[in-house]
Structure 1
Amino acid sequence: MRRSLSAFASTDQASIPLHVVTADSLAQWLDGQPERVRAWVANTGFQGRSGETLCVPDASGGIDMALSGLGSAAAQARNRFALGAARLKLPAGTYHLAGGLDPEAVAEQALGWLLAGYSFERFRHRPAEELSLPALKAPPGLDAKRIEILAAAEWLTRDLINTPASQLGPEELETTVLSLAEEYKAEVSVTYGDDLLVENFPLIHAVGRASDRMPRLLDLRWGDEGPRLTLVGKGVCFDTGGLNIKPGASMGLMKKDMGGAATVLGLAMMIMALGWKVRLRVLIPAVENAISGSAMRPGDVLTARNGKTIEVNNTDAEGRLVLADALALACEEAPDALICMATLTGAARVALGPDLPPFYTDDELLAEALARAARAESDPLWRMPFHAPYESLIEPGIADLDNAPSGGMAGSITAALFLRRFAEGAQRFAHFDIYGWQPTAAPGRPKGGVGQGARALLRALPEILGPDIAPGGRAAS
């Protein structure tokens, strides 16, 4: 069921015409229709608003055609994936797009249709017929395989984020990585528990040692030609805050604190499924930040893999610690591009809200490529600065670095500056401070876990690493 909902219908199936109209184009569309259609649309009050749908009956009472509205120009700027809303309203059946979409909008709307098929059903028992949704034939000229890969990868990300921590700890995250590796013939190595100290990953060990669920570093490699691309994702499977325990209200969504790991795994799946010519590496420090007698303490000084010392002034700022060891490991190979993704700071959400994650990079070409890609892929991002004058805020005096500067100012920027200290050696570095959660349902995005930034990266990276890495010698489009 889930596989069919994330794929297009067979082209040899009979299908119902689906006309997409805007509030402004409806009148012109109606001019070309027979009187019975014009009368039906007028009598039903359909106006082409965003997400509005209408079925026009034929003489026998079946569906002759369907209409889906995109709304006004202002509504289209505010609401992406409008066709996803139509999928949840139309009767079951197979449809084909019969016109009304600009060519550059077809891919977005087709992806929105597939994404609207997602629901997290693992713990719900419902009859299969309740899951029945309409299907869509791939529009002519669309790279249907690519859109289906994007949808399937996003479903993986959402499933991982939505799964409760009782069912998704470091071990289960490892199982997911191993399954991806088996499917795409990648290699995985894992460093566990006290071996993290032996192999010089002291920060990952310090964060995860208080939990009964063994901390580990997951290291996936795929591909043997092309530039080195390394993805690092925060894999804190649950975050109590440690001894600086979170209040209950703040702890409620902490199953999503591995959203960075979930997102880089989705991106890695896209890259492998599309057959990119890169030497891909995915590093995920998978831990649970728990409370016990062995938990790290406020005031502890830790030494990272690269030798830098860190004063722990808040055990709830643990994500940057586990990422620091992983980034230092990544840089030992001097990757051509190093991407870090993490559900890192509440400050990012205060500044930009849940739908607009910030990214940080010193590379102007990468920043420009990401800005263009975010618009083209309807995957919003906003660049924030590595503001050098704030470097002093992460320097406590007793150690090289402070994991939680006092004062509460510029929290997302200081976290990014902290991570940059461990990314030295990468040719290009970008950090994404994502939220990974859709707080209210929207077209193509039900309430719950959501990927952010992966599609934009998929489009932008060939501009930076060379178009030859992508199939056909071009950036994915």
Structure 2
Amino acid sequence: MTELPEFAPQSAESLPIWLVRPGDDGPALPAEAGEMAKIWAKAQGFSGRAGQLCLLPTPDGKIAGAVYGIGSAERAFRDRYVLAKAAEALPAGDWHIAQMPEDMDGETAALGWLLAQYRFARYKKAEPPAARLVCPQGVDGDRVIALAAGEYLARDLINTPASDMGPDELERAACELAERHGASVSITKGEALLAQDFPMIHAVGRAAAQEPRLIDLVFPGSGPQLTLVGKGVCFDTGGLDIKPPSSMAIMKKDMGGAANVLGLAETLARLGLTRNMRLRVLIPAVENAISANAFRPGDILTSRKGLTVEVNNTDAEGRLVLADALALADEERPELLISMATLTGAARVALGPDLPPFFCDDDVIAAAIQNSGRDCADPVWRMPFWEPYESMIEPAIADLDNAPGGGFAGAITAALFLRRFTDKARHYVHFDIYGWQPTAAPGRPKGGAGQGMRAILNALPEILS
């Protein structure tokens, strides 16, 4: 795992950075910065727009501090990690926030700084920014580092190519997480999947060089049960319905659901929250490959739940492996069952790569998750389990269709398919994430991305109370 960043220690030698918004009469520079700072900033054209940095000199030419623009309050949500750009632009040294607007969330600001330090350097050396931040007053530094740890883990897992992150390596990563936090692990793989009644996980992964498997983590704790299920398709060729090269290029990210639930589990465990719940994490880990024994279009599979599924597209494999894992999770009747998957292109067309949809039947839980996501700069958007579309996933010769034709409502029909396997859990929520940052942004480098983890985390006290 990429080494986690640290906050700088409290020190009289750290340099001040003032966070400033623009105003009608120019940026509101604080009096503590001094009159010369105001003159200097004005001469440099500093206006307080988001991401604008102005270093302040001492009389002898050294750095006295900096003023940094965070933009207007109206566009605060648009500039998600506004302080992240400062982390990358400031010169080496320790910095402390000397002024922060009252309406700015210190935890999100500090997290943005830490996320800006992330560099995936497994295959190519890449040095993180050298500026360090003293944890802002009133912010729980250990909590912010726990949030960053979950995001770093998810990014690392997604960024690692399938040559080094197949089902074997994903299992190893899950086992390492379990060892760090005292969780138990059980693995069902290969032909044992058939013997223990996970036929669809076996069917999807049987053509690959590495055996398909179900990874099952149980954390010690007591209280309401939270079960997380993450899609772990370590590479997706599309199977016999093979993808074109342009669509296969970043399919190492098709285990992004697994990466995100592991990242969330990492944060929950670091925060000690697993002591007050029964946390279980299930990951069906496979590679959707092509071989003589690959499953075929037109095959009928019988799921763990007993529902039969007609395979009309082998490239809609994620919902098949999730279905068996969800059926297992559902048997325990958890208080909250959450699935996360890089599941449908339809979701990306509807909402783009940056705003993952989630599906939930309970209005109170849905509002808690969506409001939490907005408050902690982890945006998500509720979509409906639209029951009139149920007929679209009901083919003529089986109970369910894994890929209904027509091209309409692809994200909704996928969610409806998964919901068929979750009738015992008290509440079920499904996230259709992208798991990838297509272009770099402050605090969010191009590549693997966590989505929905903090939105879930901050909503859990309300949901599980």
Q: TM-score range by the shorter chain?
A: over 0.9
Per-residue CA distance 1:162-218 (angstroms, 9 max, x = gap): 111111000000010110111100000000111000000000000000001111100
Cross-structure match for 2:297: 298
Query: What corresponds to 1:377 in structure 2?
Result: 376
1:171 aligned onto 2:168: yes
- In the alignment, what sits opposite 1:270? 267
CA drift of 1:375 comes to 1.1
Match of 2:337, SS state, is strand
Comparing 35-44 with 347-356, greater Cα deviation is found at 35-44
Q: List per-residue Cα deviations over 1:262-287 (Å, max 9, x = no partner).
A: 00001111111111111100000000
Letter matched to residue 167 of structure 1:
D
Amino acid across the alignment from 2:187: V
Q: CA deviation at 1:371?
A: 1.6
Q: Structure 2: how far apart are the matches of 1:386 and 1:80?
A: 29
Letter of the 1:70 partner, please give it: I
Aligned to 2:229: 232
SS at match of 1:424: coil
Name the structure 1 match of 2:218: 221
Aligned structure 1 segments of 4 or more residues deviating by more than 4 angstroms: 30-33
Tell me the CA shift for residue 48 of structure 1.
Answer: 1.2
Residue in 1 that maps onto 2:441: 442
Q: In the alignment, which residue of structure 2 is the partner of 1:147?
A: 144
Q: Say if 1:439 and 1:447, in contact at 8 Å, map to a contact too.
A: yes
**Contact in 1 for aligned 2:88/2:129 (Cα 8 Å):** no
Question: Does the residue aligned with 1:147 lie in a helix, a strand or coil?
Answer: helix
Distance (whole Å) between structure 2 residues aligned to residue 272 and residue 34 of structure 1: 45
Whole-Å separation in 1 of the counterparts to 2:307 and 2:31: 71
Aligned to 2:48: 48
Gaps of 5+ in 2: none
Kindly state the Cα deviation for residue 22 of structure 1 after the two structures are TM-superposed: 1.0
Question: Partner of 1:308 in structure 2?
Answer: 307
Name the aligned partner's letter for residue 343 of structure 2: L
Superposition pairs of residues 70-149 of structure 1, within 5 angstroms? 70-102=70-102, 104-125=104-125, 130-149=127-146
Alignment partner of 1:353 is 2:380 = no
- What is the rounded CA distance, in whole Å, between the counterparts of 1:13 and 1:202 in structure 2? 62
**Equivalent position amino acid for 2:321 in 1:** V
Range with greater deviation from structure 2 (59-68 or 344-353): 59-68
Conserved in 1, the CA contact under 8 Å of 2:257 and 2:433? yes
> Residue 475 of structure 1 corresponds to which residue in structure 2?
none
How big is each residue's C-alpha offset from its partner over 1:398-420, in whole Å with a ceiling of 9 and x where there is no partner?
00000000001000000000000
Give the corresponding residue for 2:17. 18
Paired residue type of 2:161: P
Instruction: Give the distance between the partners of 1:73 and 1:229, measured in 2 at CA.
Output: 36
* Aligned-partner SS, 1:378: coil
Alpha-carbon distance, 1:35 to partner? 3.3
* Aligned AA (2:357): P
| 1:321-470 alignment runs, 5 A limit | 321-466=320-465
1:68 aligned partner:
68
Give the AA of the match of 1:150: L
Q: Deviations over 1:366-424 (max 9, x none)?
A: 10111210111111111000001000000001000000000010000000000000011
Amino acid corresponding to residue 86 of structure 1 in structure 2: A
Which whole-Å deviations, capped at 9, do the CAs of 1:36-85 have from their partners, x for residues lacking one? Answer: 21221122111111111111011222211111111234442321110001
Question: Matched residues in 2 for 1:385 and 1:278: separation?
Answer: 28
* Deviates most, 54-63 or 313-322: 54-63
Structure 2 CA distance for partners of 1:389 and 1:69, relative to 1, 3 Å: same
* Alignment-derived partner of residue 59 in structure 1: 59
Distance 1:90 1:139 in 2: 17
Distance 1:30 1:144 in 2: 26
Partner deviation per Cα, 1:2-41 (whole Å, 9 max, x = no partner): 5452x21112462000100012285332666533212211
Kept in 1, the 8 Å contact 2:108–2:377? The answer is yes
Paired residue for 1:469? none
- Shift in alpha-carbon separation, 1:356–1:39, aligned structure 2, 3 A: same
Alignment deviations for residues 142-166 of structure 1 (CA, whole Å, 9 cap, x no partner) = 1111111001110000000111111
Query: 2:251, 2:286 → 1: CA distance?
Result: 13
Aligned-pair distance for 1:100?
2.8
2:230–2:340 CA contact under 8 A, matched in 1: yes
CA distance in 1, matches of 2:192, 2:12: 56
Measured against aligned partners, the alpha-carbon deviations of 1:295-328 in whole angstroms (never above 9, x if no partner) come to 0000000000010000000000000000000000
> 1-side partners of 2:11 and 2:4: how far apart?
16
Matched to 1:195, the amino acid is A
Q: Does structure 1 conserve the Cα–Cα contact (< 8 Å) formed by 2:368 and 2:459?
A: yes
**If the length of structure 1 is used for normalisation, what is the TM-score?**
0.94
- Aligned-partner SS, 1:271: helix
Q: Is there any run of 5+ residues in structure 1 with no aligned partner, and where?
A: 467-477
Letter in 2 for 1:77: F
**Cα displacement (A) at 1:132:** 4.2
Residue type at the aligned position of 2:389? Y
CA distance 1:13–1:420, shift in 2 (3 Å)? farther
Q: Whole-Å Cα distance in 2 between the matches of residues 370 and 234 of structure 1?
A: 20
Quote the Cα distance in structure 1 between the aligned partners of 2:115 and 2:462: 26
Cα distance in 1, alignment partners of residues 4 and 226 from structure 2: 31
CA distance in 1, matches of 2:34, 2:173: 54
Instruction: Give the letter for the 2:329 counterpart.
Output: A
Distance (Å, rounded) in 1 between the aligned partners of 2:408 and 2:128:
46
Q: Is the 8 A contact 1:208 1:288 kept in 2?
A: yes
Shift of 1:102: 2.0
Is the 1:13–1:94 contact (alpha carbons within 8 Å) kept by the matching residues of 2?
A: no
Q: Tell whether the 8 Å contact from 2:20 to 2:28 is kept in structure 1 after alignment.
A: no
Residue 238 of structure 2 corresponds to which residue in structure 1? 241
**Which AA in structure 2 matches 1:79?**
D
Deviation at 1:108, TM superposition (A): 1.1
RMSD: 1.5
